[in-house]
Amino acid sequence: MTAAPRMITLDAELLGPEPADDRVLRVDDLTVGLRPVPGDSAEPIVDGVSLRVAAGRAVGLVGESGSGKTLTALAVAGLLPSAIQVVGGRIELADRELTGLGEQEARAHLAASVGVVFQNPTASLNPRMRIAAQLREALPAGTSRRRARERSGELLTAVGIADVHKTLGAFPHELSGGLNQRVVIAMALARDPKLLIADEPTTALDVSVQAQVLDLIDELRERLGLGVLLVSHDIGVVSDRTDHVYVMSDGRIVESGPTTQVLGDPHHAYTRQLLAATPSRLEPVRVAERLLPVAEPASPVADQLEVRDVRRAFTVRGSAGRARHVALDGVDLTVTKGQAIGLVGESGSGKTTLARIIVGLERVDSGVVFYEGNPVARHTRAQRRQWRREVQYVFQDPYSSLDPRLTVAQTLREPLEINFPGLSRGEVAARIDSLLDEVELPRSFRDRHPSELSGGQRQRVGIARALATEPSVIIADEPVSALDLSVQARILRLLARLRIERDLTYLFISHDLAVVRYLCEDLVVLREGSVVERGRTDDVLERPESPYTRALVDAIPGRGFARS
């Protein structure tokens, strides 16, 4: 028992009035490491973790990727990958010591007492099986066909799915992400578990759907007396939904206690750092007092980009034949020099399509894109080259936006050689160095391949590549959504700094209102291909006019926590 005394007393406070047999999960000094390979000394990945989950309570496990939070959860669920094993410690699940049981027995006990919900619902469902078949698989072996059908119906009803019959007959791709996650939760509940492990259950979902799914878990927890272990990187979610929290870093629990206490008055430096990096806690950057209102057309010279009545639809092939999906339904947008506009909407709102149209990666069905007053489609060769150089794009996924075969220097050389053919080798090298300086990467990273960079470092390279052409407009499509919180905060600060230094205009696409609030003075809300609201960010967030925006704002997790 290496746990600090403080933790134990807090535990006692929390669980004090309840009998000990209400404790669903008790993990003591759990150590998880790589299966020893000859010649490799195995360092523990999870090092001496102890935690408790009581029936009917939600416990949060917070940390960044690589902190070991997911491995801890997987160890409890008996789902560790084959290369990784439990090295030491005790896991006691529903009053049975797991580590002492034989493999068969342990598996049976786990199957009966733990339900697991993973991050990406579409990945945890088999795309080729109907929902009914998947649920049947989740039910205890030997359930009769008839009973299985009844039970499946009950489970789907329990997770708030109204059209049970239709859902049972559907394939996962025919359902939305939120519905799929409900199905996964139903599967997790199929054997009446005592403990529900939810590993980032809503990270892949839109904010409003996120709130519904979390509400559902809350409700089930209360109604069924489930113990919930909520693994998340999202402080907001944890602060809203749990009453006890463990903060993990580098395989250890660095702080734990009642959620309000830990988040309100963090003691450990790491917890403080994590809290400071939360986007809703960042002090917004407000650069331009010279701002012009978004809605009113300004003088033509000042308009850098204008999108007029742009429409775009895609043909989708589904089981019911072809369907037209309207991505953009007549959108107008004006971007004035020096502005930072946030483009917000849920997935499917058309925000990415709009951004891609503006940089010419996607064509329009109708409507016009203007750059400095001229329609892009009718640009002369020189104008076209200038537009290409001036308007740059930062991609969402730092993993697929860099060519895995090229070094950092080679990646940066490409735009330089294309746009400044007059540069000598030495000049190109010097520019690469200064670009690396600008995005705060060491110059020695020149010869690294993307596989040798972390996500945040890759995104910095992506930003450097966009800056290489000396653009005046940067269109960034969710540039931080794939990154850890603290990395996210640093990239956001970098973007804010670059904007001031380089006098950049930003069109910033995000689903995260907190991120947009930090970086952008102006805000445009898209819904199903149309603009539903636009205005100053602070005004819109304070007093949203359209009901949709209000719903979005209300659904942001951790609002109370952000204000505190």
Partner 1 sequence: MSLVQVTEADGGSAGPASVDAEGRVDRRRLRRRTIGVGGWVGAGVLTGVLVTALIGPLTGGDPLAQNFDAILEAPSAAHLFGTDELGRDVFVRVVFGGRTALAITVVSAVVASLLGLVLALAGALYGGWVDALTSRLADVQLAVPSIVLAIVVLSFVGNSFVPIVFVLVLGSWVLTFRVIRGHARAVVQQQYVEAARVAGAGRLGIARRHLVPSVLPLLAVAFTINASSALLLESSLGYLGLGVQPPDPDWGQMVATGQAQIFTAPWIALFPGLAVVATAVGLQLLGDGLAERFVGGPVTRRGLAR
Strands in 114-117's sheet, in edge-to-edge order, are 114-117, 195-199, 227-232, 58-62, 244-249, 252-258
CB of 204 to partner 1, least distance (A): 14
CB of 164 to partner 1, least distance (A): 35
Q: Give Cβ neighbours of residue 543 (< 8 Å, ≥ 6 apart).
A: none
CB of 271 to partner 1, least distance (A): 11
Q: Give Cβ neighbours of residue 173 (< 8 Å, ≥ 6 apart).
A: 122, 127
Beta bridge partners of 540: none
Cβ neighbour number for residue 464 with a 10 Å cutoff: 24
Question: Residue 474: helix, strand or coil by DSSP?
Answer: strand
CB contact at 8 A, 58 and 230: yes
Taking the least distance from each CB to partner 1, the nearer of 350 and 462 is 462
Q: Give the C-alpha separation, 49 to 422, whole Å.
A: 59
CB of 40 to partner 1, least distance (A): 10
The torsion region of residue 500 among left (phi > 0), alpha (psi -120 to 50) and beta comes to: alpha
Q: Which residue has the tokens 């010649």?
A: 39
CB of 403 to partner 1, least distance (A): 4
Taking the least distance from each CB to partner 1, the nearer of 86 and 466 is 466
CB of 410 to partner 1, least distance (A): 8
Taking the least distance from each CB to partner 1, the nearer of 267 and 290 is 267
CB of 22 to partner 1, least distance (A): 36
Taking the least distance from each CB to partner 1, the nearer of 146 and 317 is 317
Q: What is the CA radius of gyration of the chain?
A: 26
Taking the least distance from each CB to partner 1, the nearer of 98 and 412 is 412
Beta strands in 285-442 (DSSP E): 303-318, 321-336, 340-344, 366-371, 374-375, 391-394
CB of 98 to partner 1, least distance (A): 26
Beta bridge partners of 324: 315
Taking the least distance from each CB to partner 1, the nearer of 70 and 259 is 70
Q: Give the C-alpha separation, 321 to 461, whole Å.
A: 42
Tokens describing residue 60: 């949060």
Where along the sequence are the contacts to partner 1 (CB under 8 A)? 64-66, 269-270, 272-273, 276-277, 359-361, 385, 388-389, 391-393, 395, 397, 399-403, 405-406, 411, 414-415, 418-419, 440, 448, 451-457, 459-460, 462, 465-466, 468-469, 483-484, 486-487, 489-491
Backbone angles phi, psi at 257, to 5 degrees: 155, 180
CB of 47 to partner 1, least distance (A): 14
CB contact at 8 A, 20 and 11: no
Taking the least distance from each CB to partner 1, the nearer of 344 and 468 is 468
CB contact at 8 A, 129 and 121: no
